[in-house]
Structure formats: C-alpha cells, structure tokens
C-alpha cells in the first residue's frame, strides 16, 4: 500500500490497546521486530492488565497475527 504510514498505524493500534509504554518507547524497533521478547515479558508479568479483546481486534485489523503468534 503506497503512501501508508505503517508506524502511525501500529502506534494507534498499540495506544488503542492500552500499550502506551510501547507507543512512547521504541515503536519503530517494535515494527521491525526487535522488541518481541519485551512484549512477551510484559504479557507474562502483567497480561491481566491488558484489554485483550481490543488488542485482538487491532492485531486482526493490522494483519499482525504472525507477529503476535511469536509473543503470545
């Protein structure tokens, strides 16, 4: 999709899912897969705090199922 700002799409998805740390942290690195282990650790430590239905919705909207499978 030419002209699509993938970083903005990803940060809106994270923000909408309540992951503001990742939005203000190293978003570009996340998009390129460098912080998947951090996300996995966050889910292991405090996964009950996340809005999992919203997170799942955004993962599906953005087609991030393969990436999500690597951390969940």
Q: Decide if 49 is inside a domain.
A: yes
Give the 3-state secondary structure of residue 2.
coil
Calculate mean pLDDT across residues 2-6: 67
Number of independent structural domains in the chain: 1
Closest CA to 58 of 10, 23, 4, 2: 10
Question: For the chain, what's the residue count?
Answer: 72
What residue numbers bound the domain in which 46 lies?
Answer: 12-71
> 6-59 pLDDT, tens per residue?
667 777 777 777 776 554 555 556 555 556 777 888 888 888 888 889 989 988
- Residue 26: inside a domain: yes
Residue 62 belongs to a domain: yes
Query: What is the rounded distance in angstroms from the CA atom of residue 7 to the CA atom of residue 27?
Result: 7
Does some domain include residue 60?
Answer: yes
Residues contacting residue 35 through CB under 8 Å, at least 6 positions apart: 22, 25, 26, 29
Domain-embedded: residue 18: yes
């Amino acid at each position: 999709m030419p002209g699509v700002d993938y970083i903005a799409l990803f940060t809106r998805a994270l923000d909408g899912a309540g992951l503001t740390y990742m939005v203000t942290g190293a978003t570009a690195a996340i998009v390129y897969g460098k912080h998947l282990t951090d996300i996995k650790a966050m889910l292991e430590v405090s996964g009950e705090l996340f809005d999992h239905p919203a997170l799942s919705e955004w993962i599906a909207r953005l087609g991030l199922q393969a990436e999500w499978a690597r951390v969940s």
